[in-house]
A and B are shown apart, each in its own frame.
Chain A
């Protein structure tokens, strides 16, 4: 074992809450915080994180009673942390600042009845299920100015916050119906091995709002020789974690863990099209929910973001690189959760394989939405200010389509700029179709 391994393992074993000991007080985190950039309502990652952590660890809250917050602690402002994770990324000392702040938010809410708004925004599967069930009414309501003004007044969800259209059917039900029509009835007996199939974690976005993203992913996987297995699943739990509802999140994590660990142990890779869901499966169950069981670990190690997976195929020389020409400018925004994966910018590497495609990294820290953060009434103006330079760049690019890996970021960019914003997998599917079309044209000639 090398010294580097010892240093790294020591850091991994240290719980998030104690990583404040590593803080040098260098303030680097404060230079990158997108929220701090636009408002002084947030004290910044350093003060709210490692600095305040010492008071939290000292148990001041307990002294004053279990449900009160020490008035001298800056905890009141930690609620303004959007959880983007930039602070943790740049910390030269390895302090888990964003994670620490998320736990502090959770603690703020401990023992309290959550705000209806926060509870509702966090129940993405419940909202999704109901929305799809009553999609004509729900789509009317969620996009009607009067209703949205009412939502803002009663619930505190900002009237202009981006909200996608509910799909007419969930992706799950479409998939099940399609499987049941197959000759084998979709039974698992005939399922191909892990070298010929992957397991798909669609998450809430693809299930309730963007089934076309799931379809594009499955189509691209198929083209590269992989069948897709879609097990029953629930929300990854990230919106619950972001809103401090840890117990509910743990329940979701256990359900997913039981289902997906079986596949992971059999050698299947778990592929997701939402960078935030895949990051939750990879890291947050262990780090934020303190789940250290074998199922969680097996799932974490088997989980891949779709672009990460395709790039890996390419490195093995297994990716079908016969992409057709897409002659267009494509502004690309790398979402915050992608950075937390620590895998570089795989979508840009894949775009570089598409002839004619001029993808350009917008190089902006955060679009502002940060999951459900920018939907909240009091946070919406901050979120819009955080994303404004990005919106200006996207609008200024003159492109008709932009790309981004994370769903809420896509909705935010699209709502703010009017530029249609797609998942990279949709762009890659288009590039394959362009190849087919060109081939068809040649054959016809």
Chain B
């Protein structure tokens, strides 16, 4: 009963990958999280490593794999873990394009800027091909949709500076597409649109209107179409195929401000993968205490209405995220703490948290704060001795040494560390047969 071989805390990419791999290996896994996580905020692609000066993710990983960075020990797992994940996403109806050797290229954003990517959902892939000088970029979105203004995006993408030296389309046009039967236009958001397009009856007319508007804007010229990333949620594959077939030019999705529809698709496929392999996923139940006995985690206690819920467990994957995810908390007296197990956090002194310039290109020192681990992802106490907690592994943004905003490495670390965390525990589990007698639970004093 509430007994798991492994409890994974955190529903971001690291937690999902760890839980999926453990469930596939036959372990009884329960993933718990206080709410949805980075999947719903991100662009849906896989940022593996794109520090300035690297041409491919593989080059980026090699560049980052220095002493204090998680890639210093995770690097060998990056390629196999990413291949493993993309294979499963494709099997779940969500194909991705690119790999570690794909050139990192600039693609348009929803505010008319550009960002550097290599591995993206297949629906975003057409943006990565180099632009021929005579190609036209049509930016097309539903009229009145606040998160995607075609005219403003087109205006910005028409400026050379936005592309920062990369090749670019010389002609950019924005077109707002009037969709039928939207009753309260000022409330329109990406979820409305994605669900609307999932409906075959509604989308036929919507796609027809998109095709007509793009055809008129293109006027027979060659080019590509940027559309907001709202083309289907549950039915994305069908919706996207239909759009590609009907548009006169090849389309690509541009991810929006949250909620991220590409990220929700990713979350859905991975959740289903975990469940199909016999794992459990419980969202909305924040962990507030972890029970320890003789240096081992024995149970996880979660918030519930008036009481708490206890899950006994043989092992724990801590994938609670960094400061944004709540895995790290900054206290009023200038410390960074890991609130669940009070693990030692590697962080700069309070005075050295921030750079003088808010937009300093080298980032802020506080970004690198996190929990230091050995190569087996077991947390290290302050003096670098072996792990005090024998059955805990750490994964994802909680790991020390990553500066993911600047290095664009968050997804690569999440996937590789989630994968390795599962491997480490699966190795352990062969020593501890799954399904043995549950531990006695003892309350902490």
Contact = CB atoms under 8 A, between A and B. Distances in A.
A341 B326 CA distance: 23
A7 interface: yes
A44 B187 contact: yes
Interface stretch (B132-140, B281-289, B372-380, B415-423): B281-289
A341 B305 CA distance: 5
Nearest to A278: B305
Q: DSSP majority for the A interface?
A: helix
A227 B42 CA distance: 54
Sort chain A's interface into a size bin.
35 or more
A136 interface: no
Sort chain B's interface into a size bin.
35 or more
Interface stretch (A25-33, A110-118, A202-210, A248-256): A25-33
A311 B304 CA distance: 15
B187 A26 contact: no
Contacts of A27: 40, 189-190, 257-259
Interface string B1-37: 1100000000000000000000000000000001111
Nearest to A287: B305
Given A40-B187, A44-B189, A344-B282, A28 B35 contact: yes
B259 A315 contact: no
Contacts of B188: 40
Interface stretch (A89-97, A127-135, A407-415): A89-97
Nearest to B263: A31
B189 A342 contact: no
Given A44-B189, A311-B1, A90 B284 contact: yes
B342 A41 contact: no
A303 B40 CA distance: 35
Among the interface residues A26, A38, A94, A311, which one has the most CB atoms of the partner chain B within 10 A?
Answer: A26
Nearest to B338: A3
B14 to A, nearest CB: 15
A315 B329 contact: no
A201 interface: no
A37 B191 contact: yes
Interface in A40-58: 40-44, 47
A344 B258 contact: no
A28 B258 contact: yes
B2 A92 contact: no
A283 B40 contact: no
Given A4-B288, A77-B184, 12 more contacts: A7-B329, A26-B40, A27-B40, A36-B195, A37-B191, A37-B195, A40-B187, A43-B184, A92-B37, A314-B1, A342-B309, A344-B2
Interface of A: 2-5, 7-8, 25-28, 30-33, 36-38, 40-44, 47, 74, 77, 88-94, 279, 282-283, 300-301, 303, 311, 314-315, 339-344, 349, 363
Interface of B: 1-2, 34-37, 40-41, 182-184, 187-192, 195, 257-259, 264, 275, 280, 282-286, 288-289, 302-307, 309, 325-326, 329, 331, 337, 339-340, 342
27 contacts: A2-B342, A3-B329, A4-B289, A4-B340, A5-B289, A7-B339, A26-B258, A28-B258, A30-B259, A31-B36, A31-B191, A36-B191, A36-B192, A40-B183, A41-B183, A43-B187, A88-B284, A90-B35, A93-B35, A94-B286, A282-B305, A283-B306, A315-B1, A342-B303, A343-B305, A344-B285, A349-B1
